[in-house]
Amino acid sequence: MADDVWILGIHMTKFGKHPDLDTVDLAAEAAMGALKDGGVTMKDMGVLAAGNLMAANAGIGQQLQKQIGQTGIPVFNVANACATGATALRTAIMAVKAGEADYGLAVGVEKLSGAGLLGGGGSPKKDGNVYEPKGRYGSVVPTDGRIGTDTMPGTFAQIGMEYGHKYGGTSFELFARISEKNHAHSTLNPLAAYSKRFTLEEIMGDIMIAYPNTRPMCSANCDGAAAAVVVSDAKLKTLDPDQRRRAVKVSASILTSDPWQDQCQILPDVNTLTKMAADQAYAQSGVSPEDLDLVELHDCFATAELVHYDNLRLCAEGEAVPFFESGATWRDGATPVNVSGGLESKGHPIAATGIANIWEVCHHLRGEAGDRQIEGAKVGLAHVIGLGSACGVHILEKAATN
């Protein structure tokens, strides 16, 4: 078993609309960029994990190989909701950690611009007021319009409102201010799908998607890809000093799913599996929340960001509102959150997001984040969550090698 695993190279495409590029084009751009960034080639790779969720045909990994090099290595095709990219990366990490390969390549790619609202939505129901779960999934599918909604904006609106009912302090304006922060951060990110600063009035006055989330408070469906090269500790020690200096240590790589509980048989629970993942990541890495210099979390909606402050243990239980009110989550705060602009601005090409969040953290730890650089950043956390259910948390640390 390899001791440590490192991110040697990482790359993301610009997120946005790419009408002239398909999933393979975008994946190839990200993969070749990550290989170049790490100073290695496809011939060096011992495993490929490729994530894609929405394409009509399977086998994105094999299709990608035809563009960047077919070397006979094992290919894992991954689909795991919004945690697809993080799962692909974890797959490559596990192969390297198991000693099966010195290097691994992970890619996440999606074509999502113009997709509209995601989720079940509007499922036909029997007449009458009797709730009759049936079928393999019982009560999971027919809830839409009865006790909640299966659309993503509505689901996460419910989650934010539930937090407010339980702990107090939330308001439409508070959630809008979270979005205001992320859009302000995005103005320093040239790869974001949208790099426009919004006033609080503009955010609150925009189209209401699912109260309390207006359009700027929702993640942006877009096209994009991200890729990472991972390497074993033993192999890294044989590389040149510059490669070692820029390598980022993967101190924790965690993937969880929902444990059984009554609630999540009916409505999604994004909290429990995130708390589990965070606790396991802190234990595995020996890092505490107070050690984090920045966090990229899954703000698919402004309401989601608030509850994940709590879920990721960035604050005491029930204290997410005062934590945000303290200014801690701004770029110049004590615990900067989503300095990339987050999913609300950077965009959310589903399978790419997990690696893209890690791309952001890596650039700060390397000191390569440009105008949005968090000075002196040494430790960062990246988080993604997908309904259905999957949560990925990675803790990353700056290389000690000079």
3-state secondary structure of 130: coil
Tokens in use for 301? 């909606």
What pLDDT does residue 155 have? 87
241 vs 249: CA distance, rounded Å: 15
How is the chain split into domains, by residue range? 5-114+220-398
Cβ atoms within 10 Å of 273's Cβ, excluding its own:
23
331 vs 174: CA distance, rounded Å: 18
142 vs 139: CA distance, rounded Å: 6
What pLDDT does residue 124 have? 44
Identify which of 110, 126, 212 has the alpha carbon closest to the alpha carbon of residue 171. 212
3-state secondary structure 180-226: HHHHHHHCCCCCCCCCCCCCHHHHHHCCEEECCEEHHHECCCCEEEE
User: Does residue 156 contact residue 304 with C-beta atoms inside 8 Å?
Assistant: yes
The tens place of each residue's pLDDT in the chain, 402 residues long, gives: 558 999 999 999 999 999 999 999 999 999 999 999 999 999 999 999 999 998 756 799 999 999 999 999 999 999 999 999 999 999 999 999 999 999 999 999 999 886 665 554 434 445 555 555 555 555 444 556 666 676 788 889 999 999 999 999 999 999 999 999 999 999 999 999 999 999 999 999 999 999 999 999 999 889 999 999 999 999 999 999 999 999 999 999 999 999 988 776 666 788 999 999 999 999 999 999 999 999 999 999 999 999 999 999 999 999 999 999 999 999 999 999 999 999 999 999 999 999 999 999 999 999 999 999 999 999 999 999 998 889 999 999 998 754
List all residues 6 or more positions away from 64 whose beta carbon is below 8 Å from its beta carbon.
24, 27, 28, 31, 48, 50, 107
3-state secondary structure of 77: strand
Task: Match 């563009």 to its residue by tokens.
Answer: 67
What pLDDT does residue 221 have? 87
User: Does residue 358 contact residue 89 with C-beta atoms inside 8 Å?
Assistant: yes
Q: Which CATH superfamily is domain 5-114+220-398 in?
A: Thiolase/Chalcone synthase (3.40.47.10)
351 vs 108: CA distance, rounded Å: 5
